[in-house]
Amino acid sequence: MHRPTLDEVAALAGVGRGTVSRVINGSPQVSPEARAAVQKAIDELGYVPNRAARALVTRRTDSVALVVSESEERVFGEPFFAGIVRGVSSHLADTQMQLWLAMAQSTAERQLVERHLSDQHVDGVLLLSLHDDDPLPGLLAGRGLPTVLGGRPAQMLESAHTNGNGVAFVDNDNEGGARTAVEYLLSLGRRCVAAIAGPQDMGVGKARLRGYREALRLAARASGAYLSDDRLIAYGDFSEASGADAMYRLLHLNPGLDAVFAASDLMAAGAIRALREQGRRIPEDVAVVGFEDSAVARQTLPPLTTVHQSVEGMGREMARLLLARIAGGPAHSTVLDTHLVVRESA
């Protein structure tokens, strides 16, 4: 049986091949007259694009989306996001799935992404860097699209791996890792340990700050010493610049501080820069510990003691769980282990 071709549609409609392609792909750059002629030719010939024909049979697009609620500058400039993409891509390499990446920070970006996230375009979605007010998880749930979150949502920190509402996520042991970092600083004899915390509208920011507070609470209970003070906490957005700004604020309020836990390696790098500019020796005057164990940790002066998390492992696990959900499996979640890597900064 002869299958109509794109060229035959173009000839019958009296337009070029490119116009037919634009109509099929939904491009607005086609006149109403040309669009009507192409659609009439498609109907008369019974033409179905190859990909659409396969989708009609299998109800699959063989595509998944990784949507990051951050700016393009951060996505391509910070090691964490590159590690996630590498992990997701490596797991999908042996499948037929194609991965597309989208940034969804501005209103225009979000509107475009929201229009595209349907079962006509993707089989499932990976969401990364979510903030409390992000509507995407609810939107995707309403559309019935399989979804896996990168990081436990802030509102789920008190729960087990899932909240019973079909939410799947992959996270690192952020609270435990932070607690280990601060306990290590205290074991070195540091008595005034500050924190540069991440955004508190994100689960990762809240969990790492909780780990810091818990370590100090346990130490205070054991020794009777007062170790915790909100003036010892400053906030950043995980970037190096925010870490430096937070460190300056902490030094102004607490000139005698002798240690700092930063909730990301980039913020720790910024803190080290600020400390050096203020004439503080590291670790002699101030010990510094970060979180992630990215390439940045080996490039600071001195090299950074940090909490290791497997970023690529997180990406691989996100992809694995998403494929399982696409195949009809239930919503499972995973929390990955972390451990301390000791270098010269503490």
Three-class SS state of 318: helix
Q: In tens digits, what is the pLDDT along the chain, a chain of 346 residues? A: 577 888 888 999 999 888 887 787 666 778 989 999 999 998 888 887 655 544 444 456 788 989 988 877 888 888 898 999 999 999 998 888 889 888 876 677 777 777 777 767 788 999 998 888 778 888 888 888 899 999 987 766 665 444 445 678 999 999 999 999 999 999 999 999 999 999 999 999 999 999 999 999 998 887 766 566 889 999 999 999 999 999 999 999 999 999 999 999 999 999 999 999 999 999 999 999 999 999 999 999 999 999 999 999 999 999 999 999 988 888 889 999 999 999 999 9
Three-class SS state of 68: strand
Structural domains of the chain ordered from first start: 6-47 (1.10.260.40), 63-172+311-336 (3.40.50.2300), 174-308 (3.40.50.2300)
CA distance 146 to 125: 6
Mention every residue, 6+ apart, whose C-beta is less than 8 A from residue 63.
Answer: 97, 98, 99, 100, 121, 122, 123
The CB-based long-range contact list for 110-119 (8 Å cut-off, 24+ gap) reads 110/136, 113/65, 113/67, 114/139, 116/65, 117/65, 117/67, 117/143, 117/145, 118/143, 118/145, 119/59, 119/61, 119/143, 119/144, 119/145
CA distance 159 to 290: 26
CA distance 233 to 254: 10
CA distance 146 to 6: 33
